[in-house]
Structure 1
Amino acid sequence: MKSLHTEILIAKHLKNSVFKNTAVFIITLFIGLILLYAAFSGWENYTNQNETSEKYQHESREDWLKNPDKNPHRMAHYGNFAFRKSTPLSVFEFGMEPFFGNAIFLEAHKQNTANFSEAGFSNSMLRFGEISIAMVLQILLPLLIFFLGFNAVAAERENGTLKLLLSQGISWKQLLTGKILGIASVIMLLFVPTIIVLVFIWLLLQNFSITPDETIKMSLFILFHFIYLIFFCVIAVLISASSKTSKKALISLIGIWLVFTIILPRTTQAIGAYIYEAPSKIQFQSDIEKDILKQGDSHNPNDLHYKAIKDSLLRVYKVDSVQKLPFNYSGFIMTEGEKISSKIYNQHLEKLLQVYEKQNRFSKIISFVNPYIAIKNLSMGLSNTDYDSYIDFQKQAENYRYNMAQKMNALQVKFISNKKPAPNDKPLTIDKEHWADVEEFHYEPKEIWDVLKSEIVSILSIFLWIVLLFIFIRFAVKNLKAI
């Protein structure tokens, strides 16, 4: 108890001395205003995007259902839209959302990518990143911590009070712990109100009706950011304690901040993309088209692959013309073509995703030497704004597109006659009530266990950093000198 009392006294002394500096008030107030702006802009982005997605998803569904009696294959080409709604936590962590699209046009025989990203409609400044609560917590608060902590111990050494404190029976462990608690108490004056506002907004966005999955995500979001900020409190005090002057401590801490938050993340991405080079979008689409043409063109009646299918059908049903088959031949061929094209697309996509996975894995491994990369990956994963979430949306949309196309093909096989109408006859159609057989698209975000599974490297790196910092503290306690 006596030891703890000493550490609390040291923490209070540091806190009081910090606020004697007018600059700290100004910087703290400035960051507080940035947090308020980030909360407001996040709220506005979330509501605008989801209102827009809901509006156009509803209009797309209405347009689909309002189609008149029509040939089902024409309906398959008429297509539909899949929209991706944001999750409540994306209010605080924009992640990759501004750069990835949130809408995909779905049509037969063709796989499209997501479009209509915020970056596409914004000026180039967006490419430097928007101001979000996560960005402030992950980048600006660590810088403030370093500003508060660079002279925590170094200044005591410079003015001679460090030797006096240690001679009075205060141990290095008590001193370091007290200084860490002091800096943490100052940071909590920003962090705690931010979390309170964050939780209130999060509840409000869900009308105070929350799911266990979202609750776990929110809790982990808060916990990991708290641990992350404590990391920087410890790093600041350890660097200050091992530096002979405050100036050297400040230079070292600014260097660490630059490496952690700016240099390493960008360098890692560039190196990963260089080592594991991915094909361009044009090359990717071209390779798919080439492989599909090797298999055959379902729209070409003289194609060798599909001619062989036709001949086998005529033999099985013992007829001499496709018009005499007991089902719609064109619909059957379209079904086969959709299977082939989708299979080829998925094979190429899987190869591409393996390249991207290697790039991302390389970046995640670097999180073992950089806690910023670890917290960024976790934050985006929990907020459903990471790359994996974008790919998950693409896959859900593709699955929906394939089922839609095949349902239309099945309706054509079942209800459309093989006999082509005369020029003055009514076109072959089916009743428009069948359009309702295709359910509306609903995007389902990844559940918490899927997020934790994909971010296991980041979680392990966080725990490794906890262990390392305890080791560093123990080492510092035994080896630091007063002079």
Structure 2
Amino acid sequence: MSIIKSVMFDEWRYWRRTKVATTVILIGIALALASVIVNSIEVRQASAERTELQRISEQTFFDQPDRHPHRMVHYGHYVFRTPSPLSIIEPGVDAFTGTAMFLEGHQQNTAMFSEQRQSSGLTRFSSLSPAFMLQVLVPLMLILVGYSCVTREREAGTLHVMITQGVKVRDILAGKFFSLAGSGMLMLAPLAIASLWAGAHGESLAITASFVLGYVVYILVWSAIVLWGSTISSRSNASFAILIALWVVLCILVPRIASTTAATLEPSPGKLESDFSVVEELRALGDGHNASDPAYEKLKQDLLNQYGVDDVADLPMNFRGVVLTYSEKKLTDVLNKYAEARMDEELSQAEIARQFGWLSPMVSMRTFSMMIAGTNLENHHRFLREAEELRFDFVQALNHAHEHDLDYHTDINRYVNDDTAKAARVDASHWQVLSSFDFAPESAQFRLSHSLRYVLQLLLWAALMLALIKRASRGVM
């Protein structure tokens, strides 16, 4: 162990003397710290703003005066997704999928106000998240720091001297590895601090600990990759070229190939094609605003037979409200069918891309990070489903008020004059049917259990690099 410590301390002393490695490490720490601070401020402000906007939106809905119930169906309501505590480090898909939705009758709107969709192609790179820093830039900095850790000794002849004096190769490589890993841990320190902040703001200890440990394993994997690249090379320039090529392949090309392969193997129809299919199917359902539409003839006849009357005006409920309730249910079933199909396609594409984690530690780390932080695609889909459930519930509750609390004759004559328009209103107490919307990440147990596959990918990479270093050590002289 004393030999390993000596090698490790000698490596650090060399870095201090050359200044280059020290400068790279300090730059890495500064970038990581700056990204954490900036993202923490932005996420905290976003969380407070969205919480306040959610409260205002609900209160505005409740404070509406007496109205025709169907006016409130189209008045609609906004819901906002507050960021998870760990999104200060890992924003995941949240920056691309939108954070707010407008809920109204007869249609499902998409999420709006995504950060990246509102930025130009160049400004997308201006947002340096801590996760991107750790997943992509820290490996590059480890390469800049340690590409010559073994080749330097070989070129200077000191490696041969140490071995002939009885120093074991494995002790030399272990000391070099721990020096590299130590520099990586320094750049990881801001993430650990940010994770403590997330824990203090509601995230569970198990999640924050797993999140940090995942990045520790990732740093160890890349430290091993750098050590292996330097061990198998005879010269420093060759080691640098090999490691830079590996970084480009593992951090740039493989993730890009993963997304392209996923889109190719699991193609999805274009928006226009999907929209035309939805419109065609909805047209067959009939127009819910027109109670005389032939599509509701059977519904009308069934009700007339059930209550033994000859005209809808004699029914004990408002037939127009019945039609709206019925049509909204049918319409929602169709919209949900297409929405679920689209989400299944997106998830299938994501699953294909995630399999490339077996080929790149960066892909496995990115997926693990989003899973644990609660900023993955599945979490976005859950937001869409919960928002749709709220939309359907309050729209149907308003349709129920239209059906049972508004007289049919008053309803059909509401456009005659101002007096009939005022008479065709229901009391504002009916707006209390709106439920509060409070979106939160999945439980800690759920997130941990669904991230095990990606932990296995990282551990496999660690085992692979250990085996490669052990094999490369046999040829060290």
Range class of TM-score, shorter chain? over 0.9
Q: Deviations over 1:147-174 (max 9, x none)?
A: 2221111122222222222222222222
Q: Which residue of 3, 7, 13 maps to 1:6? A: 3
Q: Partners of 1:146 and 1:57 in 2: how far apart? A: 46
- 1:126 Cα deviation after fit: 3.0
Distance in 2 separating the partners of 1:27 and 1:467: 28
Quick check: 1:80 aligned with 2:70? no
- Counterpart Cα distance in 2 of 1:221 and 1:243: 34
**TM-score normalized by the length of structure 2:** 0.93
1:111 maps to: 108
Q: CA, structure 1 residues 87+273, in 2 after alignment: closer, same or farther (shift >3 Å)?
A: same
| 8 Å CA contact retained: 1:306, 1:333 | yes
Q: Write the distance in 2 (CA, Å) between the matches of 1:142 and 1:74.
A: 57
CA distance in 1, matches of 2:27, 2:2: 33
8 Å contact from structure 1 (residues 365, 457) kept in 2: no
Residue number in structure 2 paired with 1:91: 88
In structure 2, C-alpha distance between the alignment counterparts of 1:300 and 1:410, rounded to whole Å: 17
Contact between 2:196 and 2:208, CA under 8 Å: does it hold in 1?
no
- The equivalent residue for 1:451 is 447
- Separation (CA, whole Å) in 2 of partners of 1:6 and 1:153: 16
Aligned-pair CA distance for 1:456: 4.0
How many residues get paired? 471
Q: Deviations over 1:449-478 (max 9, x none)?
A: 33344444322211222222232233334x
Selected match of 1:299 from 289, 299, 321:
289
Q: Distance in 2 between matches of 1:293 and 1:232?
A: 56
| Per-residue deviation, residues 263-306 of structure 1 (Å, max 9, x unmatched) | 11122212211222112223222221211222333223343331
* 2:230 aligned residue (226, 237, 240): 240
What CA distance in whole angstroms lies between the structure 2 residues aligned with 1:143 and 1:459?
Answer: 22
TM-score (norm 1): 0.92
Q: Which residue of 2 aligns with 1:252?
A: 242
Does 79-88 or 28-37 show the bigger shift?
Answer: 28-37
Gaps of 5+ in 1: none
Tell me the amino acid that sits aligned with residue 124 of structure 2: R
**Aligned-residue offset at 1:87:** 1.3
1:264 corresponds to which residue? 254
Amino acid at match of 2:34: Y
Give the secondary-structure state (helix, strand or coil) at the position aligned to 1:131: coil
| Offset at residue 386 of structure 1 (A) | 2.3
**Structure 1 partner of 2:142:** 145
CA distance in structure 1 between the partners assigned to 2:100 and 2:325 by the alignment: 25
Which ranges in structure 2 are unaligned for 5 or more consecutive residues?
A: none
Over the residues paired in the alignment, what is the CA RMSD in angstroms? 1.9
For residues 476 and 116 of structure 2, the distance between their equivalents in structure 1, rounded to whole angstroms, comes to: 53
Identify which of 432, 438, 445 aligns with 1:442: 438
Match for residue 377 of structure 1 among 367, 370, 375: 367
Query: SS where residue 9 of structure 1 aligns?
Result: helix
SS at match of 1:105: strand
Tell me the equivalent position of 1:59.
Answer: 56
Alignment of 1:30-429 (within 5 A): 30-128=27-125, 130-192=127-189, 194-203=190-199, 206=201, 210=202, 214-420=204-410, 422=413, 423=416, 424-425=419-420, 426-429=422-425
Query: Cα deviations across residues 87-135 of structure 1 (Å, max 9, x unaligned)?
Result: 1211112222222211100001110000112234434333236112222
Structure 2 CA distance for aligned equivalents of residues 126 and 323 of structure 1? 61
Of 451, 468, 475, which residue of structure 1 is paired with 2:471?
475
Q: 1:196 deviation in Å?
A: 4.8
CA offsets, 1:422-470, max 9 Å, x none?
A: 5343432221112123222221222233334444432221122222223
Secondary structure of the residue that 1:82 maps to in structure 2?
strand
Output the CA distance in 2 between the equivalents of 1:189 and 1:107.
50
SS of the residue 1:420 aligns to:
helix
Between 120-129 and 97-106, report the one with greater CA deviation. 120-129
Which residue of structure 1 lines up, in the alignment, with residue 12 of structure 2? 15
- 1:442 alignment partner AA: D
Is residue 2:455 matched to residue 1:465?
no
Whether the aligned pair in 2 keeps the contact of 1:15 and 1:183 (CA below 8 Å) is: no
After superposition, the Cα gap between the structure-2 partners of 1:136 and 1:244, relative to the gap in structure 1 and judged at 3 Å, is same
Distance 1:199 1:361, change over 3 A: closer
Amino acid at match of 2:321: G
CA distance in 2: counterparts of 1:248 and 1:305, whole angstroms:
75
Residue pair 2:207, 2:448 contacting (<8 A) in 1 also: no
278 and 453 in structure 1: CA distance in 2 versus 1, 3 angstrom threshold: farther
What SS is found at the alignment partner of 1:319?
coil
Change (3 A) 1:141 1:55: same
CA distance in 2, matches of 1:297, 1:327: 20
Distance in 2 (alpha carbons) for counterparts of 1:47 and 1:198: 12
Q: CA deviation at 1:336?
A: 1.3
Give, in whole Å, the separation in 2 of the partners of 1:467 and 1:334: 61
How far apart are residue 8 of structure 1 and its match? 1.6
Range that drifts further, 111-120 or 396-405: 111-120
Q: Does the aligned pair in 1 maintain the 2:261–2:353 contact within 8 Å? A: no
Task: Give the secondary-structure state (helix, strand or coil) at the position aligned to 2:94.
Answer: coil
